Amino acid sequence: MQVGFIGLGIMGKPMAKNLMNAGFPLIVWNRSQPAIDLVASWGAEAAKSPKEVAANSDVIITIVTDSPDVEHVALGPDGIIEGVRPGAIHIDMTTMSPMITQQIAAKLAEKGAQMLDAPVSGGDIGAQNGTLSIMVGGPSDAFERCLPVFEAMGKNIVHVGEEHGSGQFVKLCNQVACGLNLLAMAEAIALGKRAGLDLDKMLEAITKGAAGSWMLSNLGPKVVQGNWEPGFMVRLKQKDLRLCLEAAASLDLPLPGTALVHQLYRSLQADGLGDKGTQALVHAIEKLGNFTVHE
Known catalytic residues are: 171
CA distance 99 to 199: 43
- Beta-carbon contacts of residue 86 (< 8 Å; ≥ 6 apart): 111, 112, 113
Torsion of CA 113, 151, 177, 228, to 10 degrees: -110
With beta carbons less than 8 A apart as the criterion, state whether 20 and 31 touch. Answer: no
* Cα–Cα dist 43/108, whole Å: 29
**Crossing angle for the helix pair 256-270 and 166-194, to the nearest 10 degrees:** 70
Of the candidates 121, 178, 132, 111, the residue with the CA atom closest to the CA atom of residue 16: 132
Angle at CA of residue 142, ends 141 and 148, nearest 5°: 105
- Rounded to 5 degrees, what are φ and ψ at 157? -115, 115
